[in-house]
Structure 1
Amino acid sequence: MEAKVNERFILEELQDAVAVITLNRPALLNAWHAPMRAMLVEAFRRAEADSSVGAIVLTGAGEKAFGAGQDLNETKTFDPERAEEWLKEWETLYDTMRGLSKPLIVALNGVAAGSAFQVALLGDLRIGHANVRMGQPEINSGIASVTGPWIMREMIGLARTIDLTLTGRLMDAQEAHAIGLINRIVPQEAVLDEALTLAAELAAKPPVAMRLDKARFREMTEVGFRDAIEAGIRIHRQSYATGEPARMMEQFLAERAARKPSA
């Protein structure tokens, strides 16, 4: 479904020195498509350029999901050329996030799956509640996972990365907190307020030191990131050329539709 010109897939609000950016496709659990990704890039760039902004909070609309990951209705139609363009769109978004000089707090209001899980991990700190689930379920819908394992390995090591990538399972909040992927677990109704409080605290830190610390973290992970993008283009071109992703996504969508109760 093509986006209407006036649809706002990303919401932006300024609360004192904190820019609040909200993923806004709640009916689809904030699943990504190209217009939403492009709008998110622009929102991050505006926050970065705004001298009144000292920190950023990223969250999702609704109570069920931070983000369900890729909208399969988009990717099921890809050929190898579009798959390569898709990886470059993600490179632009991830580059923008990695280049932020201001702290980024992710307020996990619900499930964070697939590429939404990756976006959450690219934040500096994550606040969640007890019912949050996180993971990398791409394999279940026939999508090879490349950038996900890169960021997971950086944060939780190879053994857990293999587990999450090959099983496609979602971790509960307690497991994610135990291995450091959720920094604080608070009551569901307090997630955004806790994220705003933490963001305000970080916004008050010396900005030069903050910028230099974040730039160093980017330098430390840059080689692995570029390798993941190059590998992603190669692997997704190969994968989509076989037709398997389209077949598996159609099957996945059909099974999901069959599980929905009739009106």
Structure 2
Amino acid sequence: MSDTTEDHVLAETLDGIRLITLNRPKRLNAWDAPMRARLLALLAEAAAAAEVQAVVLTGAGERAFCAGQDLNEGKTFDGDRAEGWIEEWRALYGAIRAFEKPLVCALNGLAAGSAFQVALLCDIRIGHAGSKMGQPEINSGIVSATGFWIIREMLGLSRAIEMVLTGRMAEAEECHRLGLLHHLVPAGEVLPTAMRVATELAAKPKLAFRLNKQRFREATQPGFDETFAAARALHRQAFSDGHSQQVMQRFLDRGRA
């Protein structure tokens, strides 16, 4: 069987709903640059396709929606590549924010780091008891510049500081209580619920839906722009120093021990 970027991000259309699946379950669906580029292309295609009424984003397997950045890629970065990496995230996050159709996240497991951020940028999130969410970048030497902003927008400054500095993963019940998960259902009901919610949202008046999402984006755009300017500078500093790569390597070595 081939092992290509297309295999790592799958797409199919079911009754007008485009189901996009991150498909590296042996790596907990952790993503690298080709996966991010593939997801960006699939979102652009879904946005333009008249037959696609909504998108559901999920992960393969039973353990993770996505573990975030593949550290085997990140440990190779220098300062220049780190800035380019942040621009890749800006393009993806910008596309999610500009996506005018319903975008529902079906969290079949943990969502860590950048995957937590992507989930929070979706319109509605559905999870189950094993759907932990958090910002553990500090544990692998990565600065949480974009994560801090997104969590602060969702939960406020106090919780953003606590989650970024501790790097802890919040259990599903806490995520549901805080509004990070909108629906908490049995594991086998996550994807069916997400498809149902996506269908319900797709039936809303389309102009009002699009203009509401446009307003959400406009109201938060200054913070988005400032965040990515800061992220470029902070990640260049961290990766030029070599600190991030060293901590990532130690983190990977502990996982192999």
Using structure 1 for the length normalisation, give the TM-score: 0.96
For this pair of structures, how many residues does the alignment match? 256
Q: Work out whether 1:10 is the aligned partner of 2:9.
A: yes
Shift of 1:54: 1.4
Distance 1:4 1:109, change over 3 A: closer
Paired position in structure 2 for 1:112: 111
Shift of 1:235: 0.2
Paired position in structure 2 for 1:163: 162
- Over residues 149-182 of structure 1, what are the superposed CA-to-partner deviations in whole Å (9 max), with x where a residue is unaligned? 1110000000000000000000000101111000
User: Distance in 2 between the 1:55 and 1:63 partners?
Assistant: 24
Shift of 1:4: 5.8
Name the amino acid aligned to 1:142: G
Residues 216-231 of structure 1 aligned to structure 2 (within 5 Å)? 216-231=215-230
Shift of 1:34: 0.4
Paired position in structure 1 for 2:138: 139
Secondary structure of 2:7's counterpart equals: coil
- Over residues 28-77 of structure 1, what are the superposed CA-to-partner deviations in whole Å (9 max), with x where a residue is unaligned? 00101000000000010111001111111000011100000100000101
Paired position in structure 2 for 1:215: 214
Paired position in structure 1 for 2:100: 101
Paired position in structure 1 for 2:61: 62
Residues 1-263 of structure 1 aligned to structure 2 (within 5 Å)? 7-258=6-257
Which runs of 5 or more structure 2 residues have no equivalent in the other structure? none
Name the amino acid aligned to 1:220: A
User: Distance in 1 between the 2:26 and 2:203 partners?
Assistant: 36
Name the amino acid aligned to 2:155: I
Deviates more, 1:229-238 or 1:6-15: 6-15
User: Distance in 1 between the 2:9 and 2:209 partners?
Assistant: 26
Determine if contact 1:135/1:168 at 8 Å carries over to the other structure. yes
Determine if contact 2:6/2:38 at 8 Å carries over to the other structure. no
Name the amino acid aligned to 1:101: E
Using structure 2 for the length normalisation, give the TM-score: 0.98
Name the amino acid aligned to 1:83: A
User: Distance in 1 between the 2:248 and 2:49 partners?
Assistant: 40
- Over residues 201-236 of structure 1, what are the superposed CA-to-partner deviations in whole Å (9 max), with x where a residue is unaligned? 011111111110000000011011111111000000
User: Distance in 1 between the 2:129 and 2:61 partners?
Assistant: 16
Determine if contact 1:10/1:22 at 8 Å carries over to the other structure. yes
Secondary structure of 2:51's counterpart equals: coil
User: Distance in 1 between the 2:5 and 2:139 partners?
Assistant: 34
Determine if contact 1:130/1:188 at 8 Å carries over to the other structure. yes
Shift of 1:5: 5.1
What RMSD, in angstroms, separates the aligned Cα atoms of the two structures? 1.1
Shift of 1:6: 6.5
Name the amino acid aligned to 2:73: E
